[in-house]
Amino acid sequence: MPQFKRRGEPTKPMKLNPGDTLVITGIGHSLLALAIPFFRNSFIDILKDGYVGSLSPNIHNLPRTAARHSAWWFVQFGVLMVLFGTTLSWMIENTHQAIPQEIAWGTIIFSSIGAIGLPISGYWLVLVQGIWMLHYR
Protein backbone atom coordinates (compact mmCIF):
# COMPACT_ATOMS: atom_id res chain seq x y z
CA MET A 1 0.00 0.00 0.00
CA PRO A 2 1.43 3.42 -0.93
CA GLN A 3 2.55 5.72 1.84
CA PHE A 4 1.29 9.28 1.52
CA LYS A 5 3.11 12.24 3.01
CA ARG A 6 1.31 14.38 5.54
CA ARG A 7 1.30 18.10 5.06
CA GLY A 8 4.46 19.61 6.49
CA GLU A 9 6.24 16.26 6.62
CA PRO A 10 9.77 16.53 5.19
CA THR A 11 10.35 14.81 1.89
CA LYS A 12 13.50 13.00 0.88
CA PRO A 13 15.52 14.66 -1.85
CA MET A 14 15.27 12.82 -5.14
CA LYS A 15 18.32 10.65 -5.75
CA LEU A 16 19.02 9.82 -9.36
CA ASN A 17 20.44 6.42 -10.17
CA PRO A 18 22.13 5.23 -13.39
CA GLY A 19 18.82 3.88 -14.68
CA ASP A 20 17.17 7.28 -14.28
CA THR A 21 19.97 9.01 -16.18
CA LEU A 22 19.71 6.44 -18.99
CA VAL A 23 15.99 7.26 -19.25
CA ILE A 24 16.81 10.98 -19.46
CA THR A 25 19.52 10.28 -22.04
CA GLY A 26 17.14 8.11 -24.10
CA ILE A 27 14.39 10.72 -24.09
CA GLY A 28 16.92 13.38 -25.07
CA HIS A 29 18.26 11.16 -27.84
CA SER A 30 14.82 10.64 -29.36
CA LEU A 31 13.91 14.33 -29.03
CA LEU A 32 17.20 15.28 -30.64
CA ALA A 33 16.01 13.44 -33.75
CA LEU A 34 13.27 16.06 -34.05
CA ALA A 35 15.78 18.89 -33.74
CA ILE A 36 18.20 17.64 -36.40
CA PRO A 37 16.70 18.48 -39.82
CA PHE A 38 18.17 15.39 -41.55
CA PHE A 39 16.45 13.02 -39.12
CA ARG A 40 13.29 15.10 -38.74
CA ASN A 41 12.75 15.34 -42.51
CA SER A 42 13.40 11.63 -42.99
CA PHE A 43 10.97 10.77 -40.21
CA ILE A 44 8.31 13.07 -41.67
CA ASP A 45 8.90 11.36 -45.03
CA ILE A 46 8.28 7.97 -43.37
CA LEU A 47 5.01 9.19 -41.85
CA LYS A 48 3.86 10.84 -45.10
CA ASP A 49 4.20 7.47 -46.84
CA GLY A 50 1.84 5.96 -44.28
CA TYR A 51 4.56 4.21 -42.27
CA VAL A 52 3.56 0.65 -43.31
CA GLY A 53 6.32 -0.64 -45.56
CA SER A 54 7.99 2.77 -45.69
CA LEU A 55 11.21 1.37 -44.19
CA SER A 56 11.54 -1.41 -46.73
CA PRO A 57 14.72 -1.20 -48.79
CA ASN A 58 14.28 0.57 -52.10
CA ILE A 59 17.07 -0.45 -54.48
CA HIS A 60 16.09 2.36 -56.85
CA ASN A 61 16.60 5.05 -54.21
CA LEU A 62 19.33 3.91 -51.79
CA PRO A 63 20.12 7.38 -50.37
CA ARG A 64 16.48 7.84 -49.36
CA THR A 65 16.37 4.34 -47.85
CA ALA A 66 19.58 4.99 -45.89
CA ALA A 67 18.26 8.33 -44.61
CA ARG A 68 15.04 6.70 -43.43
CA HIS A 69 16.88 3.86 -41.72
CA SER A 70 19.24 6.28 -40.00
CA ALA A 71 16.34 8.38 -38.70
CA TRP A 72 14.39 5.32 -37.58
CA TRP A 73 17.29 3.75 -35.70
CA PHE A 74 18.27 7.06 -34.12
CA VAL A 75 14.80 7.29 -32.54
CA GLN A 76 14.65 3.56 -31.78
CA PHE A 77 17.96 3.66 -29.94
CA GLY A 78 16.55 6.38 -27.69
CA VAL A 79 13.46 4.26 -27.00
CA LEU A 80 15.61 1.22 -26.21
CA MET A 81 17.71 3.31 -23.83
CA VAL A 82 14.53 4.41 -22.03
CA LEU A 83 13.43 0.78 -21.68
CA PHE A 84 16.88 -0.29 -20.45
CA GLY A 85 17.04 2.61 -18.01
CA THR A 86 13.53 1.96 -16.69
CA THR A 87 14.36 -1.70 -16.09
CA LEU A 88 17.67 -0.84 -14.42
CA SER A 89 16.04 1.80 -12.23
CA TRP A 90 13.32 -0.65 -11.17
CA MET A 91 15.98 -3.25 -10.32
CA ILE A 92 17.96 -0.76 -8.23
CA GLU A 93 14.93 0.49 -6.32
CA ASN A 94 13.29 -2.89 -5.72
CA THR A 95 16.16 -5.31 -5.13
CA HIS A 96 18.47 -2.91 -3.26
CA GLN A 97 21.43 -4.79 -4.71
CA ALA A 98 24.42 -3.56 -6.65
CA ILE A 99 24.10 -3.37 -10.41
CA PRO A 100 25.42 -6.63 -11.88
CA GLN A 101 28.95 -6.15 -13.19
CA GLU A 102 27.94 -7.74 -16.52
CA ILE A 103 25.45 -4.92 -17.14
CA ALA A 104 27.98 -2.23 -16.22
CA TRP A 105 30.79 -3.77 -18.30
CA GLY A 106 28.43 -4.46 -21.20
CA THR A 107 27.39 -0.81 -21.20
CA ILE A 108 31.04 0.32 -21.00
CA ILE A 109 32.15 -1.96 -23.85
CA PHE A 110 29.15 -1.10 -26.04
CA SER A 111 29.58 2.65 -25.57
CA SER A 112 33.38 2.48 -25.99
CA ILE A 113 33.05 0.70 -29.33
CA GLY A 114 30.44 3.27 -30.38
CA ALA A 115 32.58 6.21 -29.25
CA ILE A 116 35.60 4.92 -31.18
CA GLY A 117 33.57 4.55 -34.37
CA LEU A 118 31.59 7.77 -33.88
CA PRO A 119 33.72 10.11 -31.73
CA ILE A 120 31.39 13.10 -31.97
CA SER A 121 28.36 11.47 -30.39
CA GLY A 122 26.49 10.74 -27.20
CA TYR A 123 28.31 7.46 -26.69
CA TRP A 124 30.65 9.30 -24.30
CA LEU A 125 27.70 10.14 -22.07
CA VAL A 126 26.63 6.49 -21.97
CA LEU A 127 30.24 5.49 -21.24
CA VAL A 128 30.26 7.73 -18.18
CA GLN A 129 26.99 6.19 -17.06
CA GLY A 130 28.45 2.70 -17.50
CA ILE A 131 31.42 3.62 -15.33
CA TRP A 132 29.01 5.03 -12.75
CA MET A 133 27.16 1.70 -12.78
CA LEU A 134 30.37 -0.05 -11.67
CA HIS A 135 30.56 2.13 -8.57
CA TYR A 136 26.89 2.74 -7.77
CA ARG A 137 25.65 1.32 -4.47
Q: How many CA within 13 A on the CB side of residue 64?
A: 12
Rounded average pLDDT over 25-31? 94
How many Cβ atoms are within 10 Å of 22's Cβ, its own excluded?
Answer: 26
Q: How high is the pLDDT of residue 62?
A: 84
Burial 68-107 (b: 16+ CB within 10 A, else e): beebbebbebbeebbebbeebbebbeeeeeebeeebbeeb
How far is residue 107's CA from residue 31's CA, in Å, rounded to a whole number? 22
pTM of the prediction? 0.80
| CA 32 vs CA 5, 23, 24, 130: distances in Å | 37, 14, 12, 21
Cβ 58 vs Cβ 65: under 8 Å:
yes
pLDDT at 8 over 90: no
